[in-house]
Structure 1
Amino acid sequence: MITIKSVLRVLLAIFMITAGTLHWVTPDPFVKIVPSFLPAPLALVYISGVFEILGGVGLLVPLVSQAAAWGLIALFIAVFPANINMAVNRIQMDGIPDSDLLRWGRLPLQAVLIAWAWWYTKKQ
């Protein structure tokens, strides 16, 4: 039987794989929001993209899905400074409307993503 939890797992996985792929295909918007105190912004964007893809794929593999969920939680926490930087410094990302509401709205979205991933840290 397919459950809501199963459907949402696939949805989160697709979201993460897509986001990770975008980090590789169009890294410039993500580089723009990396805080200036962090070294090698492009490398960090590529690294975060790899871990987003791995986390998304991992959610779909029962043997590693719990570890993948914990990894995504760590990733969401790790990228939070970029979201803060974007909001505080009013950094405009291509393809997203120039809106303080949207920039600040990303901050609580991280908590939603953490809670969503946390749902999959428990054995099924």
Structure 2
Amino acid sequence: MKEIHPDVRAGLSMARELRHRVSEVRERTDGIFARRPSPSGLVIPEVDVIGRLRNLYLEPGTCAKFGNQELAAEIMAAIIESSQDVRRQYQIAMNNPELLPRPFVEVVQEWQNGSDLLSPNFSKAQQGIIDK
């Protein structure tokens, strides 16, 4: 059987690393949601990072207290506030410098310039762990 060319091995490592990075981002975003109350505090929606309404809590007696338009306004105000909060949480989570991976270009250049014949190591520089 023929040897795999080092550049092909590097490309396969990059594809594997990209799949891992996408998976990590998905896991991080799946845990982001917000529950912000309405102005009266009687309505609390739960909104996820995609903007979907996952849950809606109405305090007992809320429907009797408000008319149709007032209740709709309470619900919409709470959903808007929750959506803004989840957007803030997303920006914080995605822009955390400690969670940013090493750039592909930096890793491949380091690998090509070095004497290491293994596939490129995409883990954080300070960890020094080779992903096999």
TM-score above 0.5:
no
The one of the two structures with greater contact order (alpha-carbon pairs below 8 A, sep at least 6) is 1
Structure richer in strand, relative to its length: 2
Structure richer in helix, relative to its length: 1
Q: Which has the larger radius of gyration?
A: 2
Report the TM-score, using the length of structure 2 for normalisation: 0.28
Report the TM-score, using the length of structure 1 for normalisation: 0.29
